[in-house]
Amino acid sequence: MHKTVQNLIDIENQLKSSLGDLNKNKIPKIIAVSKTFKMDNILPLIEHGHLDFGENKVQEAIDKWAEIKGNKSNIQLHMIGKLQTNKVKFAVKLFDYIHSVDSEKLAKKIADEQSKVQRNIKVFIQVNIGDENQKSGINIDEINNLVIFCKKINLNVIGFMCIPPADIDPTGYFKEMNRINKINNFEELSMGMSSDYKKASQYNSTYLRIGSNIFGLRS
């Protein structure tokens, strides 16, 4: 068994164990963050039956995934990095999910470009939950206006995404993001990475973005 497959199985078992029998139907989906990794590390996961993969650069994703997605249409590709507006017309042809909408300009561009190719991308609004200057995402007080705008242009927003500040306990941030998600009546929540996915799953994350714990450290 390939190491990436074994790592994925181990994570799935850890989640089942930590969530317990009462929550076994709420086990979040695992996005295998395959950015920078070559296909010889990714193909064993596909052959194992894993469907959700994450990339953070449009051109790299096109080079890696265009042909494979053409042959395996059930693969779900997630854009998890900052998306520039000049790349949107390429992104909407390939990605099924975009986790990083953080402005009306980007939201409008996605809506316009996906209509040209008759697609309906599932979108997460990225929230800068720790109010960090170096991170993308909207502030909490901007959420309502962007949600209203996205509804007005019929963008398919399914939930929020966040990345808590590094090197501190993320519990409070996950708890707050879960609260905000519920207030807005969204069912999906994208939070939790290799370092904190177990804790994120305790606060109703439905999509975990896991890279190094599956593929190993990036060189």
Q: Domain for residue 200, yes or no?
A: yes
Q: Which of helix, strand or coil describes residue 163?
A: coil
Model confidence pLDDT, tens digit, residues 73-122: 899 999 999 999 999 999 999 999 999 999 999 999 999 999 999 999 99
The answer to whether position 22 is within a domain reads no
Given a cut of 90, whether residue 188 has pLDDT beyond it is yes
Specify burial of residue 166 (Cβ count, 10 A radius: 0-12, 13-18, 19+).
exposed
**Contact assessment for residue 150 and residue 157, using Cβ atoms and an 8 Å cutoff:** yes
Count up the domains in the chain and report the number: 1
Tell me the pTM.
0.95
The pLDDT tens digits for 131-184 are 988 889 999 999 999 999 999 999 999 999 999 999 899 999 999 999 999 999
Question: Is residue 219 pLDDT above 70, yes or no?
Answer: no
**By residue range, what is the domain housing residue 154?**
3-11+28-215
Closest of 148, 180, 142 to residue 161, by C-alpha: 180
**What are the residue ranges of helices labelled H in 20-140?**
39-48, 58-71, 88-94, 104-116
Q: What is the CATH number of the domain that holds 132?
A: 3.20.20.10
20, part of any domain: no
Domain assignment of residue 121, yes or no: yes
Q: Indicate the residue type of 196.
A: D
- Per residue in 39-74, pLDDT tens? 999 999 999 999 999 999 999 999 999 999 988 889
